[in-house]
Amino acid sequence: MFQLLRCVPRVLGTAVAGLRAAAPSLPRLQPASRPCARPFGLLSVRARSVQLPGLLKPRGPCACGCGCSGLHTEGDKAFVDFLSDEIKEEKKIQKYKSLPKMSGGWELEVNGTEAKLVRKVAGEKITVTFNINNSIPPAFGGEEEEPSQGQKAEEQEPELTSTPNFVVEVTKDGSSKALVLDCHYPEDEIGQEDDQSDIFSIKEVSFQATGESDWKDTNYTLNTDSLDWGLYDHLMDFLADRGVDNTFADELVELSTALEHQEYISFLEDLKGFVKSK
């Protein structure tokens, strides 16, 4: 019985092979082509297109005829000419070609727009730090005065003065704390000639850990707006005994104004070079 079952596949295979040999060869079916559902124009720019989209057009030489491939317009040329004249005028009125020195043995360190004054006295280190950015008060004024006879309009322009906020840090040898006093120039005191009044004020006082660049907001800060006048006067005397007085404040204004003007001219020169670069 098992021998008969084994012979069945062989017999069927022989029969099928015979039928294939006798039947005519049929052509092989080819798969039907499907049209593309996404137009090629959305995938790439055709090589033979007459017009290209504006963003894909090759950049030609600039309009001024210098032959450069970068963006260079007549407006840029006028901008560069204006900056050249502005730089010349600013250098003409520049009061200090080099930064003025502070009296009292202060050592100056400048890092861009930030300046630091350091003085050491009898086991104490006094550090004054300020930044000239946004240090020129806005010009509040009413009606503009007409120039007087024989005086040019530009001669009546007020001289710009830099009055930055500054921070005084007092540290003692062997102490882990520094007394920090945040000071500023009140607008109503700027330009006053009264020797009795202080030309700067203390806004806040706090203790901070020495050697840390970032001061903690969790440390108590004393605001002087509601401070007893007796305590405030002693704080001002404390600063004056360490060289931070009206004379220092006047010299700091001169130094800050010179540094601000120097940085402004450098900014104009960098701006001119940036606009002019190809």
Q: Choose between 195 and 221: higher pLDDT.
A: 221
Check pLDDT > 70 for residue 141: no
Give SS3 for 131: strand
> Taking residues 148-177, what's their average pLDDT?
80
pLDDT confidence band for 36 (50 / 70 / 90): very low
- What are the angstrom distances between the C-alpha of 196 and each of 192, 193, 199, 200, 246? 10, 9, 9, 12, 10
Q: 104 in a domain, yes or no?
A: yes
Percent residues over pLDDT 90 in the chain: 55
The answer on pLDDT for 172 being more than 50 is yes
Q: State the pLDDT at residue 35.
A: 44
- The predicted structure's pLDDT at residue 72: 72
pTM: 0.70
User: Rounded to whole angstroms, how far apart are CA atoms 47 and 44?
Assistant: 9
Query: So what's the pLDDT on residue 197?
Result: 85
- Number of domains comprising the chain: 1
> What's the half-sphere exposure (Cβ side, CA atoms, 13 Å) at 82?
8
What local confidence, expressed as pLDDT, does residue 34 receive? 40
User: Could you tell me the pLDDT band of residue 196, with boundaries at 50, 70 and 90?
Assistant: low
pLDDT of residue 272: 96
The average pLDDT across 32-51 equals 39
Query: Please, which pLDDT band fits residue 179 given cuts at 50, 70 and 90?
Result: very high
Q: How confident is the model at residue 263 (pLDDT cuts 50, 70, 90)?
A: very high
Cα 17 → chain centroid: 86
- Is 119 part of any domain? yes
d(CA 231, CA 161): 31
The radius of gyration of the chain's CA atoms, rounded to the nearest angstrom, is: 41
213 within some domain: yes
The type of residue at 191 is: G
Highest mean pLDDT among 10-24, 191-205, 232-246: 232-246
Buried-state track 83-119, b at ≥16 Cβ within 10 A, e below 16: beeebeeeeeeeeeeeeeebebebeeeeeeeebbbeb
Across the chain, mean pLDDT equals 78
Domain contains 252: yes
Are the C-beta atoms of residues 106 and 126 closer than 8 Å to each other?
no
Q: Which residue(s) pair with 204 in the sheet?
A: 182, 223
DSSP secondary structure code for residue 52 in this structure: -
Residue 178 lies in a domain: yes
Name the residue with tokens 């800060």.
221
In a domain, residue 111? The reply is: yes
Which range of residues forms the domain containing residue 169? Answer: 70-133+159-188+195-277
- pLDDT attached to residue 236: 97
Is 201 among the domain residues? yes
Q: Is residue 141 situated within a structural domain? A: no
Would strands 177-184 and 166-172 be described as parallel, antiparallel, or unpaired? antiparallel
| CATH number for the domain harbouring residue 98 | 3.10.280.10
Half-sphere exposure of 24 (CA within 13 A, CB side): 2
168 vs 18, more confident: 168
Average pLDDT over residues 197-216: 88
In sequence order, the β-bridge partners of residue 121 are: 124
Read off the pLDDT of residues 118-140 as tens digits, 9 standing for 90 and up.
999 999 999 999 999 999 988 75
Q: Which of 15-29, 100-114, 260-274 shows the lowest mean pLDDT across its residues?
A: 15-29
Using 50, 70 and 90 to split pLDDT, how confident is the model at 114? Answer: very high
Identify the pLDDT of residue 156. Answer: 55
